[in-house]
């Protein structure tokens, strides 16, 4: 088997591959992703993260999201899925919605792909009110992003909101505030965070 990212042949006889699900990345690429679990705080929200949005992680995520390399979807949560399934047992998963335009452009929902193997039931009924793109927004425009969600589903018990990269935290905050009044408990997890 070859590494999905660098194409180097993976040594499938390594000891770990006998016990764990096989990694689709070679050891070198996996190491360079620098996975490290951290709790960060952005605009008052405590967010669990695993990577810094930088270096190889950033290149790989862009390759997946913007170059439509869908084969990479499983590599980001490799080694984390079991942890999420255990730690958040009893929670419902709520991925931050992408704009319809972005999903159409990409031809796939990138966040759904990344979290595909997480076995938690999904929250349905959360929507974006308007199509908005987040890049390079001013403070007032970020406020609009926060107010840009609505929810028309049932009351929620325990919810895990997830995203791929947290920068300003506007989308996560928007989703959080939308479901906060009708949820018992909310946790927030983002695959990566961006220092800025
Ligand atoms: Zn590699």
Question: From ligand 1's centre to the CA of 8, what distance in Å?
Answer: 6
- In the reported structure, the alpha carbon of residue 138 is separated from the centroid of ligand 1 by a whole-number distance in angstroms of 38
Distance, CA 4 to ligand 1 centroid (Å)? 7
Output the CA 28–ligand 1 centroid distance in Å: 6
Give me the pLDDT at residue 98, please.
80
Give Cα separations from 38 to 5, 14, 174, 187, 191 (angstroms).
25, 28, 22, 14, 10
**Residue-range domain boundaries for the chain:** 1-32, 36-193
The CATH number of 36-193 is: 3.40.50
Tokens of 152: 């028309």
- Looking at every residue in the chain, the average pLDDT score rounds to 90
Per-residue pLDDT for 191 more than 70?
yes
Predicted confidence band of residue 195 (pLDDT cuts 50, 70, 90): confident
Residue 34 Cα to ligand 1 midpoint, Å, equals 14
- The answer to whether the beta carbons of residues 135 and 162 sit under 8 Å apart is no
Name the band, by pLDDT with cuts 50, 70 and 90, for residue 172.
very high
pLDDT tens digits for range 5-63:
999 998 776 656 566 778 999 999 999 999 999 999 998 999 999 999 999 999 999 99
Expressed in angstroms and rounded, the spacing between residue 130 Cα and the centre of ligand 1 is 39
Q: What is the band of 186 on the pLDDT scale with cuts at 50, 70, 90?
A: very high
pLDDT of residue 15: 59
pLDDT digits (tens, 9 = 90+) for 125-149: 998 888 776 665 677 777 888 888 9
Sorting pLDDT into bands at 50, 70 and 90, what band is 108? confident
- Spacing, Cα 102 to ligand 1 middle (Å): 28
Which tokens is 148 given? 């840009």
State the pLDDT at residue 14.
62
Angstrom distance (rounded) from CA 146 to CA 144: 5
| Listed residue (164, 172, 10) closest to 73, CA to CA | 164
> At a CB cut-off of 8 Å and minimum separation 6, what does 18 contact?
none
Q: How confident is residue 71, by pLDDT bands cut at 50, 70 and 90? A: very high
């Amino acid at each position: 088997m070859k590494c999905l990212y660098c194409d180097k042949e993976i040594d499938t006889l390594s000891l770990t591959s006998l016990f764990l699900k096989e990694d689709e990345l070679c050891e070198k690429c996996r190491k360079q992703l620098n996975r490290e679990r951290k709790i960060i705080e952005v605009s008052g929200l405590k967010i669990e993260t695993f990577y810094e949005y930088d270096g190889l992680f950033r290149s790989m995520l862009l390759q997946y999201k913007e170059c439509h390399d869908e084969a990479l979807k499983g590599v980001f949560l490799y080694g984390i899925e079991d942890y999420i399934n255990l730690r958040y047992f009893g929670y419902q998963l709520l991925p931050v919605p992408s704009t319809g335009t972005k999903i159409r452009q990409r031809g796939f929902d990138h966040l759904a792909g990344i979290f595909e193997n997480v076995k938690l039931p999904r929250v349905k009924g959360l929507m974006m009110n308007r199509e908005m793109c987040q890049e390079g927004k001013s403070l007032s425009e970020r406020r609009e992003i926060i107010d840009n969600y609505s929810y028309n589903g049932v009351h929620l018990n325990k919810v895990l909101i997830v995203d791929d990269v947290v920068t300003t935290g506007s989308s996560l905050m928007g989703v959080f505030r939308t479901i906060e009044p009708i949820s018992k408990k909310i946790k927030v997890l983002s695959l990566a965070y961006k220092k800025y």
